[in-house]
């Protein structure tokens, strides 16, 4: 077999989801490592009074394309925007553009999806299932089609403990579900959604399972077509490991939000079983696997769909405890700017304890500080931030309190089919991933690319020292002692405060005012936990 880069020479590629986190990395990698590719068609929809060409230009201004701008700017001209919308019938593509795609495209990467875990069923089905069906119908008419790569998620089978590289039976008939969401109103759909989901935690995993089943049924008996390849990655797709830029990330999803919250001192508690494996993957790993899977699908033309489980747990596992301890070390060694509290936090496996600490450590301080901010004439923001953090952490809870075994035999077999040069150029072997070094890269990446902070670490360290004046540089706390230590500090504070109350009339008046304020705030504080 020829090289991966040589395979893409002279071929046109269609990409959905090109403006997403993975889509951007896919575009950059194809342009940089497969320079012989002729066109990269990206389906874009007009948005916020911007045309698709304006959105394309904005996309290519992303920092990860800077290297290509300096070394080979002509490569960027190969990115062609196709006006369309995966939510619309026929993808919302014009007849002329459809004809162009049918005539020219050889490889399809379908990564467009709504990844909101709490998305309403109608939207999730329309985009993740019906959008996939529309793209399949287009792909079947492509004269030169050699590979169709569907980006799924290993979580679509989270109702199983052991997940192999196969397409499992669908939880329902995808076509009947698509028909149902068309004629049922939103209130009825909301009522029946829990029954439809069954053991799955959200509409995202449910509709991804439907989409996999739909692809298999649509491709059965399709004469002359290539069987699709399913690329399953975990919901925890994290910052870049090696490329395009170490640490690069562009969203707060999953562990990224946890690192940002803990680094700023905002996130103090999280419901998580820290002995479980944190099965996350750096974004460049699934991207390189996708590109290689398309090459192998086209060259070998397998008779049946091939599934690739892109997961780290079976190859290079890391547990949530290690994520916390190593991440905490890094956030203290290289702190973020203007932290509001000492970086770190704790994991608890008790839902009740977690709710208690959310109120005590998150919302009560947030309301008090927002009140101070308002008195200073500024707009309050901490309560709003904590509500967003709570919503995000609630969506992750199912995945931080459960564990699965993912089989990755097809991934390992694919590695064996590659030349040494291709294994280096399209690297997705996680056996040599040093998690501790990677977490250091991750924390700096969040600081640099998400929070847009400068690299003046010394200034941040000086700010952090104000929090630890009079105490040693803190080492990572063992989880079993965490709350005992916090309780001892709280007890010391209460005894000191009690002594002050006995001796100061001013302190008693202040305490009375504070209690009145807290009583008035409690309904608002508890509302996010009960909604």
pLDDT tens for residues 391-414? 989 988 999 999 999 999 999 999
- pLDDT at residue 471, rounded to an integer: 43
What is the per-residue pLDDT for 521? 60
Tokens 């309560």 — which residue?
Answer: 383
The pLDDT, as a whole number, for residue 494 is 66
Cα(317)–Cα(491) distance, rounded to whole angstroms? 39
**What backbone torsions phi and psi does residue 128 show, to the nearest 5 degrees?**
-80, -30
Domains annotated for the chain, with CATH where assigned, are 4-238+279-314+404-432 (3.40.50.720)
Cα 280 from Cα 293, distance rounded (Å): 20
Q: pTM surpassing 0.75?
A: yes
Burial of residue 264 (number of CB atoms within 10 Å: 0-12, 13-18, 19+) = buried
What is each CA distance from 20 to 44, 157, 237, in whole angstroms? 11, 23, 12
For residue 47, the model assigns a pLDDT of: 85
Which of 295-304, 384-393, 437-446 is the least confident region?
A: 295-304
469 band by pLDDT with thresholds 50, 70 and 90: low
Nearest Cα neighbor of 87 from 108, 113, 54 is: 113
Which of these ranges, 211-225, 276-290, 401-415, has the smallest mean pLDDT? 211-225
Q: Is the pLDDT of residue 10 over 80?
A: yes
Q: What is the pLDDT of residue 489?
A: 59
Task: Give CA angle at 156 (40, 179), nearest 5°.
Answer: 80
Residue 507 — very low, low, confident or very high, per pLDDT cuts 50/70/90?
low
For residues 71, 76, 77, 78, the Cα torsion angle rounded to the nearest 10 degrees is 120
Q: Residue 530: what pLDDT?
A: 58
- CB distance 113 to 208 below 8 Å: yes
Sorted by sequence, the CB contacts under 8 Å of residue 30 that are 6+ apart come out as 8, 13, 37, 40, 291
Q: How many residues does the chain have?
A: 531
More confident residue, 506 or 234: 506
Lowest mean pLDDT among 94-108, 270-284, 341-355, 452-466: 452-466
Q: What is the pLDDT of residues 415-455, one digit of tens each?
A: 999 999 999 999 999 999 999 999 999 999 999 999 999 88
Range with lowest mean pLDDT among 131-145, 347-361, 371-385, 480-494: 480-494
Spatial contact of 285 and 428, defined as CB atoms under 8 Å apart: yes
Beta strands in 203-351 (DSSP E): 229-233, 237-238, 269-271, 281-282, 306-310, 346-348
Average pLDDT of every residue of the chain? 88
Give the CA angle between residues 225, 283, 403 to the nearest 5°.
90
Give 224's pLDDT tier (boundaries 50, 70, 90).
very low
Q: Which carries the bigger pLDDT value, residue 288 or residue 368?
A: 288
């Amino acid at each position: 077999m020829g090289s991966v880069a040589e395979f893409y020479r002279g071929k046109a590629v269609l990409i959905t989801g090109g403006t997403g986190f993975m889509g951007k990395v896919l575009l950059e990698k194809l342009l940089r490592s497969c320079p012989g590719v002729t066109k990269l068609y990206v389906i874009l929809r007009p948005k916020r009074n911007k045309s698709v060409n304006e959105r394309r230009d904005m996309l290519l201004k992303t920092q990860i394309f800077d290297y290509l701008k300096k070394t080979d700017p002509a490569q960027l001209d190969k990115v062609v925007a196709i006006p369309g919308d995966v939510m619309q019938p026929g993808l919302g593509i014009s007849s002329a553009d459809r004809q162009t795609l049918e005539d020219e495209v050889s490889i399809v990467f379908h990564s467009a999806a709504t990844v909101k875990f709490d998305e309403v069923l109608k939207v999730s089905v329309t985009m993740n299932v019906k959008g996939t069906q529309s793209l399949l119908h287009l792909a079947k008419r492509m004269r030169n089609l050699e590979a169709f790569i569907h980006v799924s998620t290993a979580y679509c089978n989270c109702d199983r403990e052991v997940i192999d590289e196969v397409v499992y039976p669908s939880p329902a008939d995808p076509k009947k579900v698509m028909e149902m969401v068309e004629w049922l109103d939103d209130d009825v759909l909301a009522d029946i959604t829990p029954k439809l989901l069954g053991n799955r935690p959200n509409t995202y995993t449910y509709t991804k399972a439907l989409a996999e089943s739909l692809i298999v049924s649509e491709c059965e008996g399709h004469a002359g077509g290539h069987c699709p390849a399913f690329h399953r990655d975990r919901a925890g797709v994290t910052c870049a490991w090696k490329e395009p830029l170490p640490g690069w990330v562009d969203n707060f999803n999953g562990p990224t939000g946890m690192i940002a919250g803990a680094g700023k001192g905002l996130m103090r508690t999280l419901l998580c079983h820290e002995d479980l494996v944190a099965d996350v993957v750096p974004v460049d790993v699934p991207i390189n696997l996708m590109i290689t899977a398309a090459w192998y699908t086209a060259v070998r033309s397998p008779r049946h769909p091939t599934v690739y489980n892109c997961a780290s747990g079976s190859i290079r596992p890391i547990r949530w405890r290690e994520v916390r301890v190593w991440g905490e070390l890094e956030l203290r060694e290289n702190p973020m700017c203007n932290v509001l509290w000492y970086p770190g936090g704790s994991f608890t496996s008790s839902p009740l304890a977690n709710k208690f600490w959310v109120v005590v450590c998150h919302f009560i301080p947030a309301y008090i500080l927002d009140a101070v901010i308002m008195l200073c004439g500024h707009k309050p923001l901490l309560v709003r931030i904590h509500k967003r953090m709570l919503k995000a952490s609630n969506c992750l809870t199912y995945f931080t309190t459960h564990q699965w075994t993912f089989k990755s035999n097809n991934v390992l077999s694919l590695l064996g089919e590659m030349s040494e040069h291709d294994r280096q150029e399209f690297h997705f072997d996680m056996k040599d991933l040093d998690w501790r070094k990677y977490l250091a890269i991750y924390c700096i990446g969040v600081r640099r690319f998400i929070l847009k902070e400068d690299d003046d670490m010394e200034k941040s360290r000086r700010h952090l020292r104000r929090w630890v004046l009079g105490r040693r540089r803190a080492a990572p706390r063992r989880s079993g002692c965490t709350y005992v230590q916090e309780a001892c500090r709280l007890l010391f504070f209460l005894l000191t405060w009690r002594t002050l109350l006995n001796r100061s009339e001013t302190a008693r008046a202040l305490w009375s005012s504070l209690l009145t304020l807290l009583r008035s705030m409690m309904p608002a504080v508890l509302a996010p936990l009960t909604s």
